[in-house]
Amino acid sequence: MTILNRRHLLAHLGGAATLMGLSPILPPRVGFARTLGDQRFVLIVLRGGMDGLAAVAPYADRDYASLRGRLALPDPNTQGGVLDLDGFFGLNPALAEIHPWYKEGQLLVAHAVATPYRDRSHFDGQDLLENGTLTPHGTASGWLNRAIGELGGGRLDGSGGRRLGLAVGQSVPLVLRGGAPVASWAPSPLKEADGDFLDRVAALYANDPLLANALKAGIDSASMADHALAADADMGMPPGMEAPMEGGATTPKSLRLDPTQLGTSTGRLLADPGGPRVAVMDLQGWDTHVQQGTTAGRLAGALGNLSKVLVALRTGLGPAWRQTVVAVVTEFGRTARPNGTGGTDHGTATAAFLAGGAIQGGRVLADWPGLADGRLYQGRDLAPTQDLRAVMKGILRDHLGLDQAALDKAVFPGGGTPAPLRGLIRT
């Protein structure tokens, strides 16, 4: 990872910050918003549709082994077996690093969950997951941006100070787009500028209020990034760690991020007293149509990367982990039965993970529909029995302090909005 100092900052301003209308990559260090305090929230979006039956296997369901066939995971205490959670569900062995969190009460699984979307298109499914309405492309803003807007207008001092929200990556995802200002951060693949280059650029734009103010704010914010990330090394992804995307493409080399360093750096930014409090990151590689595998293969690799990010995020947050909730979500699940190429196709219900010191964990929340043929959604998918919006609303209300009216009218508008799920946060 390239540290944000004066010489590096212009490269970032030409990249991620441009998406925010030349917002600074990291905002200045000022006071806290009284409405939020020290609570942190991290949303991790798994793009491509995670197979919830593989990530958290209902190994004690009598129809599980026959339905899943060669993708069925063995029972606990056998070679390659699941890591038991509650005697019915088990964690995929690729998530072994976070398995102890369950016993610590810092990991919770919500199973058989889904958004209101049912048509199995990645693009529409992700849009609805992020816009928080009942219609794909129904609004240009995201539910988390609208939630941030309810917390001091997105600025932690209520006016022009540092920002609550942070997009981690080369672009700002829909869930964070909208009227509330947010920051963005990503390691820069660009060559750093000469030492006095920013001074010359500042002089050039001195009479342009928009560019001059953005540049000054970015320079002022660099000290916070240097402080939070001073111990980080370059963040290039080692060979073999890149996540394949649909169609066989891979992430461009300059944008590949080591999952451990990505998680650690994000945690440090959130833990810093002058840092943001809400962050979003994307993880690719979940569209497992071919060679999905069980304890090895494409899905195991993706789950392993997720585990590394989560463990590193906890490390980076340090003591702030106690005030943190991490939500891991995806646009939809995958078919209950394997396809003919050793994979699974686009489905419906899946699993979501909640982690963090603020979570009342050690549980699997599931109104389990069963896996018998007559219980599958449209005869092919795990049937949805929980609305993912209820889970997110429970976090926003009981962890971040949003009231019911704001959740129903601004954050998740539309008919049939479910009530917030209670009991997710430690009291």
Mean predicted lDDT score pLDDT of the chain: 83
pLDDT tens digits, residue range 221-265? 454 455 556 555 444 433 333 344 344 444 444 345 689 999 999
pLDDT value at residue 191:
59
Q: Region 168-194: what's the mean pLDDT?
A: 82
For residue 63, pLDDT beyond 90: yes
What is 31-187+235-411's CATH number? Answer: 3.40.720
Using alpha carbons only, give the angle 344, 348, 353 rounded to the nearest 5 degrees.
Answer: 90
Half-sphere exposure of 89 (CA within 13 A, CB side): 24
Q: Give the pairing type, strands 40-46 and 278-283.
A: parallel
First-to-last alpha carbon distance for the chain, in angstroms, is: 37
pTM for the model stands at 0.84
> 256, 238 in Cβ contact below 8 A?
no
* DSSP letters spanning 21-65: TS--SS----PPPTTTTT-EEEEEEETT---HHHHEE-TTSTTHH
pLDDT value at residue 196:
73
Which residues does 250 contact at the CB level (< 8 Å), separation at least 6? 242, 243, 244
For residue 214, pLDDT beyond 80: no
pLDDT value at residue 28:
33
Start-end of H helices in 349-425: 388-398, 404-406
C-alpha pair distances (Å), 83 with each of 80, 89, 97, 327, 361: 9, 8, 11, 21, 16
pLDDT value at residue 313:
98
User: If pLDDT is split at 50, 70 and 90, which confidence band does 165 have?
Assistant: very high
Higher pLDDT, 161 or 25: 161
Q: Looking at 6-15, 295-304, 337-346, 379-388, which range is the least confident one?
A: 6-15
pLDDT tens digits, residue range 347-382? 999 999 999 999 999 999 999 999 999 999 999 999
Chain centroid offset of residue 274 CA? 21
C-alpha span between 330 and 123 (Å, rounded):
12
Residue among 151, 171, 167, 391 at smallest CA distance from 279: 167
pLDDT tens digits, residue range 124-135? 999 999 999 999
DSSP E strand boundaries for 89-189 = 90-91, 107-114, 165-168, 183-185
Q: Give the pairing type, strands 83-84 and 90-91.
A: antiparallel
pLDDT value at residue 209:
75
Q: Which two tokens stand for residue 235?
A: 């963040």
pLDDT value at residue 226:
52
